Amino acid sequence: MDQTFVARLRILADAAKYDASCASSGAPKRVAGANGLGSTTGGAICHAYTPDGRCISLLKILMTNYCLYDCAYCINRRSSNVRRARFTVEEVVKLTVAFYKRNCIEGLFLSSGIVRSADHTMEQMMLVARRLRHEENFAGYIHLKAIPEASPWLIEQAGLWADRLSINLELAAERSLERLAPEKNGGSIRAAMGQMHERIAQAQEEKRHFAPAGQSTQMIVGADDATDAAVLGASATLYRAYALKRVYYSAFSPIPEASRALPVKPPPLQRENRLYQADWLLRCYGFTVEEIAAGGEGGMLDLEIDPKLAWALKHRDRFPVDVNRADKEMLLRVPGLGTRAVESILRTRRHRTLRLDDIGRLTSGLKRLLPFLIAADHRPVRLTDRLDLRRRLLQPARQLSLF
Ligand code: SF4
């Protein structure tokens, strides 16, 4: 491979690592057929995650890390002193196909700094997707990072070829966006999300292809003083108003020559993890933002224990829950019971009374849920009598692997 190309690839793949929104789960099942290429069905495709949880199974690159904008939290901002590089449409297409043929990736996640204009940049990304679909018969997954300031027509075109589109909200609070990314506008970001939501809903109704894996967004955490409750409140609004598939949380990482407007230290990475756990509670477990926040202090989640356990420990009067009688809503609140386990419990108990062994087969967290659950052969002491429960349930500290 041409060495200058490899050098550019290094720069643009590295620059893309700050974008968290790249999971490919939501894609429809699709196989290219005899003359085509790629598939989204998972056969011979490996999913890989970096130690901090980011998905790397897609070829994740920027078209360019030049940018006209100067967002303080971004390494690619125009005032940043980083090495710059740029790919052409042709190069990104070739690269994607080459990686796909080697079975290194399951698709493409393409983002870009803004060059010349928002429209020009959006058009370049749209052309990559169109060429992959049209000329390469590429049936793999494509996720494009849409540029909210680009013409709605260009975003609409991108949706014809991509599986997922995302627009980054970046910061939960409008005032933080004004301070740290003055060229961005929270209103236009939300307006673009709204338009995309309408197009996706309309396409679904008309049964035609338009970003079938929906839209997602990313929020940076720890670059401003927004609390976890504020971040989750913004997510809840986005899920409700624009039917987003996912909100991704990216712990702000200090960048070389960072702006003085940013904190010197990054937030603990555990904060990002707790927000992801809280996000599941919002989307799948029927919790409200207020309930989740009540598990922590001052609007911040408890970093030592997961948000479901934190809520349970602060609402001990609601436990223990009888696994053979409780309704679904309350079963979902038992620490250690996931949605699948709850469905299975509800199915099984129609035919017989559940014992602890039955629950043990459904979860790996049996030890943790013992104080919260009543089964036919298990009745724990009342939680209010167990003052040391939190300490007993804390996971022992574990050395993280470097590899
Ligand atoms: S517009 Fe995007 S790439 Fe450009 S500085 Fe802002 S966050 Fe970075």
Q: Tens of pLDDT along 259-268?
A: 788 888 888 8
Return the ligand 1 atom nearest residue 70 CA.
Answer: 5
Cβ atoms 284, 339 nearer than 8 A: yes
CA distance 309 to 368: 9
Q: What pLDDT score was predicted for residue 403?
A: 47
pLDDT at 32 (0 to 100) = 64
**How high is the pLDDT of residue 45?**
35
Angle CA 273–262–245, to nearest 5: 40
- Look at residue 86 and give its three-state secondary structure: strand
Asked whether 76 lines ligand 1 (CB < 6 A), one says yes
Do 223 and 255 meet the contact criterion of CB atoms below 8 Å apart? no
pLDDT for res 37: 65
Ligand 1 centre from 73 Cα, in Å? 9
Burial class (CB in 10 A: 0-12, 13-18, 19+), 384: exposed
Q: Can you read off the two tokens belonging to residue 220?
A: 């940076």
Confidence of residue 48 (pLDDT cuts 50, 70, 90): very low
CA of 117 from ligand 1 middle (Å) equals 12
Ligand 1 in reach of 69 Cβ (< 6 A):
yes
Cβ of residue 180 lying under 6 Å from some atom of ligand 1: no
Sheet of 107-111: strands edge to edge? 58-62, 107-111, 141-145, 164-166, 215-221, 246-251
- Say whether pLDDT at 215 is over 70: yes
How is residue 59 written in tokens?
Answer: 């070829």
Residue 25 pLDDT > 50, yes or no?
Answer: no
Provide the token pair at 201: 């809903």
Supply the pLDDT for residue 265: 86
- Protein residue with least CA distance to atom 5, ligand 1: 77
Q: Which atom of ligand 1 is nearest to the CA of 78?
A: 5
Residue 387 — pLDDT band, cuts 50, 70, 90?
low
The span from the CA of 346 to the CA of 221, in Å, is 37
Q: What is the pLDDT of residues 162-209, one digit of tens each?
A: 999 999 999 999 999 999 999 999 999 999 999 999 999 999 999 999
Cα Dmax for the chain: 69
- Is the Cβ atom of 338 under 6 angstroms away from ligand 1? no
Percent of the chain with pLDDT over 70: 87
Structure tokens at 312: 């349970």
C-alpha 24 – ligand 1 centre gap (Å): 23
Percent of the chain with pLDDT over 90: 66
pLDDT number for residue 121: 97
The atom of ligand 1 lying closest to the CA of 68 is 4
Nearest to 375 by CA among 331, 324, 317: 324
Atom 3 of ligand 1, residue of closest alpha carbon: 113
Q: Can you tell me the mean pLDDT for 314-329?
A: 94
Q: How far is the CA of 14 from the centre of ligand 1 (A)?
A: 15
What spatial distance separates the first Cα and last Cα of the chain, rounded to whole Å? 28
Mean of the pLDDT values across residues 59-70?
A: 94
CB 146 within 8 A of CB 192: yes
CA of 133 to the centre of ligand 1 (A): 27
Are 154 and 40 contacting, i.e. CB atoms less than 8 angstroms apart? no
Cα–Cα distance measured from residue 165 to residue 158, given in angstroms and rounded to the nearest whole number: 8
Residue minimizing CA distance to atom 6 of ligand 1: 71
Residue 87 half-sphere exposure, CB side, CA atoms within 13 Å?
29
**Cα–Cα distance measured from residue 340 to residue 287, given in angstroms and rounded to the nearest whole number:** 17
Six token digits for residue 181: 């990314």
Q: For residue 5, what pLDDT is reported?
A: 87
Instruction: Output the pLDDT for position 281.
Output: 97
**Average pLDDT of span 246-272:** 85
Average of per-residue pLDDT values in the chain: 87
Q: Is the CB of 177 under 6 A from ligand 1?
A: no
Cα separation, 258 vs 180, whole angstroms? 12
Mutation pick for ligand 1 pocket among 12, 17, 64, 77 (CB with most ligand atoms within 8 Å): 77
In the predicted model, is pLDDT for residue 307 greater than 90?
yes
CA nearest 84: which of 70, 63, 98, 100?
63
Q: Using a 6 Å cutoff on CB, does residue 363 contact ligand 1?
A: no
Which pLDDT tens digit goes with each residue over 289-304?
999 999 999 999 999 9
Contacts (Cβ under 8 Å, ≥6 apart) of 209: 160, 203
Q: Identify the three-state secondary structure at position 58.
A: strand
| Helices 269-284 and 228-242, axial angle in degrees (round to 10) | 40
Residue 320: asked if its preceding bond is cis (omega within 30°), the reply is yes
pLDDT-derived band of residue 1, with 50, 70 and 90 as boundaries? low
- From the CA of 246, how far away is ligand 1's center (Å)? 21
Residue 59: strand pairing partners: 108
* Encoded amino acid at 377, one letter: D
Q: What is the pTM of this model?
A: 0.86
Query: 131 CB under 6 A from ligand 1?
Result: no
Q: Does position 71 have pLDDT exceeding 60, yes or no?
A: yes
**pLDDT at residue 317 greater than cutoff 60:** yes
